[in-house]
Amino acid sequence: MFTEIGSSPHDLVADLESRTCAYLREAIPRGEYVAWLAYLDRDASTIVAGVGVQLRRKLPFPRRRADGAAEVGAGREGIVLNVYTEPPHRRSGIARRLMHEILAWAKSVELESLVLHAAPDGRPLYEALGFAATNEMRFTGDLATWQTREKGSR
Multiple choice CATH, 33-132, 3.20.20.210, 3.40.630.30, 3.40.30.10, 3.40.50.300: 3.40.630.30
Q: Residue 52 above 80 pLDDT? A: yes
Does residue 87 sit in helix, strand or coil?
helix
Residue 135 carries which DSSP code? S
Residues 62-89 have pLDDT tens digits of: 888 889 999 998 888 999 999 999 999 9
What value does the mean pLDDT of the chain take?
A: 87
Q: Residue 51 above 70 pLDDT? A: yes
Q: Provide the pLDDT for residue 119.
A: 85
Q: Provide the pLDDT for residue 8.
A: 55
Pairing, β 61-64 against β 113-116: unpaired
- Number of Cβ atoms within 10 Å of the Cβ of 135: 4
Q: Where are the domains of the chain?
A: 1-30, 33-132
Rounded CA gap, 46 and 38, in Å? 9
